[in-house]
Structure 1
Amino acid sequence: MGRKKMVAVLALLMGALVCENAEAALAKKDLGIVRAGIDGAYPPYCYLNNKDEVDGFEVAVMKEIAKRNGLDIQCQVTAWNSMFGQLDSGRIDTVAETITITEERQAKYVFSKSYIEDSNRFLVRAGKEDSISSFKDLAGKKIGVASGQSAYNQLLAIQKEQGVQFEIAPYETSTNAYDVSIGRIDASYMNPVAGMDMSNKGNMNLAVASCPAFMAARCAYPFRKDTERGRLLAQIFSDTLAEMAKDGTLKALCVKWLGVDISRVE
């Protein structure tokens, strides 16, 4: 290839690269308001503070992603049982609520990279930690869990894989922790960070049962895979979470809000 032809080809390639970057920047700029659904009742992940403003770990992560990308991300309080319906209809763009990646969800949504590793545990009244020291101890007990979450499916899997029968009591809100404290149910199966935060703030006197975790799961942000907007946002969130993990910001946010580093980006 002659020198003139090579220069011409390089010029075309550089021009295409510049155009591609300009289009990406324009697409990001044109996203407008990005709405992240939270239920506002899951401290310390997301809740309403004493000023009636959304606050918590998830809100802090959203603010950091917004700052790094020049985006207007707004956390929109949404009832948990309608969260994915709101996502499907386009009323919100994602769900900022420790959403576990599952095969079923991956078939419908495009996920960002994971940002934390989550595991559910059994919360019982303090002093009764050994009342559930193994899965066999669940026999005959009544266990509360948030309906529609992966935790509910994990309880079904425990029944099947461990061959133990117990009553599963689904809740639309996180009040199952309170019901443990008053003896209405034997235990609540939920995120222990959120559960103990509720217990401490509400004087519920709960503790994490000695039974080990059934499984650890990666959490990520889901977006609609059938829209360019959803796919672009998933990529933006993935790239930014990777940056936040690399520079230590994500770890710092975990320690600040959750008291422990459970960050995991992959």
Structure 2
Amino acid sequence: MKKLLLSAAVLAMSTSFAFADTVRMGTEGAYPPYNFINDAGEVDGFERELGDELCKRAELTCEWVTNEWDSIIPNLVSGNYDTIIAGMSVTDERDEVIDFTQDYIPPSPSAIAALSDGINLGSAVIAAQTGTIQAAYIAESGATLVEFATPDETIAAVKNGEADAVLADKDFLAPIVAESNGELVFTGPDVSIGGGVGMGLRESDGELRAKFNTAISSMKADGTLNTMLKKWFGDEIATYE
């Protein structure tokens, strides 16, 4: 899933989460089907349904907050919300700044989409969302990277000729490719970068992390999480045994 490159300037706060009935759930609201804003102007998607169920099981009340991706970790650390639930893969780099719950989506691949197959990826111009490990992967590959603030802009860049292809989570790209009526196709092999997706929390909020870990474990054990994954991502999504 989406992978944020951390700025060295981000510092962890020592302020602990003061337990209350309401937990502010931070998400991007721009990465369907993980999270998006629906026609009623509300946070929707897999992570909205998941977060509400986790809060129910943890006997907490969710309050949803949206934040742009490139500042989502700094604003967690500074106390603007209490969790990140936004398609964020667990990485060693992030774990130096914040803590994570266990994963609620197993590791899954990124993929490359373009207007036609057979692109020479070594010399191509490839779009990715700013501040993601997909962007870092492209930069290190020798291809030319063009970065955009939102995932929708990366798709538009391919369609209007600014980029030859886009690299993003395959779960994000799959419905876009399927609904393009052949305009977009997958090209090249899938790309494995990053781990599973988990909730991000401040390092000082161990009690809250434990509550969500217990809730995630219960959803894995009773099959609810697998059902929810298939509902939002289809039967091809990796699930838990």
- Quickly name the TM-score band, shorter chain normalised: 0.7 to 0.9
- TM-score normalized by the length of structure 1: 0.76
User: Once the two structures are superposed, what CA deviation does each residue of 1:23-67 show, in whole Å capped at 9, x if it has no partner?
Assistant: xxxxx9942321122121111111111222111011111011011
1:218 deviates by 1.4
Structure 1 partner of 2:192: 214
1:202 deviates by 7.2
Instruction: Please give the secondary structure, in 1, of the residue aligned with 2:195.
Output: strand
Work out which of the residue numbers 206, 210, 216 in structure 2 matches 1:231: 206
Structure 2 partner of 1:169: 146
Query: 1:1-266 alignment to 2 at 5 Å?
Result: 30-116=19-105, 117-125=107-115, 128-131=116-119, 137-157=120-140, 159=141, 165-174=142-151, 175-199=153-177, 205-215=183-193, 217-225=195-203, 227=204, 230-259=205-234, 260-264=236-240
Identity percentage over the alignment?
24
Alignment CA distance shift 1:35-1:197 (3 Å): farther
Alignment CA distance shift 1:224-1:217 (3 Å): same
2:91–2:194 contact (8 Å) kept in structure 1 = no
2:108–2:192 contact (8 Å) kept in structure 1 = no
**Which structure has greater helix proportion?**
1
Structure with higher Rg: it is: 1
1:238 deviates by 1.3
User: Once the two structures are superposed, what CA deviation does each residue of 1:93-150 show, in whole Å capped at 9, x if it has no partner?
Assistant: 121111111111111211100111232111112xx2332xxxxx31221111111122
Q: Which has the higher contact order (CA 8 A, sep 6+)?
A: 2
1:48–1:55 contact (8 Å) kept in structure 2 = yes
Structure 1 partner of 2:7: none
Alignment CA distance shift 1:216-1:80 (3 Å): closer
Instruction: Please give the secondary structure, in 2, of the residue aligned with 1:220.
Output: strand
Give structure 2 stretches of 5+ with no counterpart. 1-16
Q: Take 1:241 and 1:205, find their aligned partners in 2: how far apart are those partners?
A: 38
Letter in 1 for 2:61: D
Instruction: Please give the secondary structure, in 2, of the residue aligned with 1:138.
Output: coil
Work out the number of aligned pairs and report it.
Answer: 222
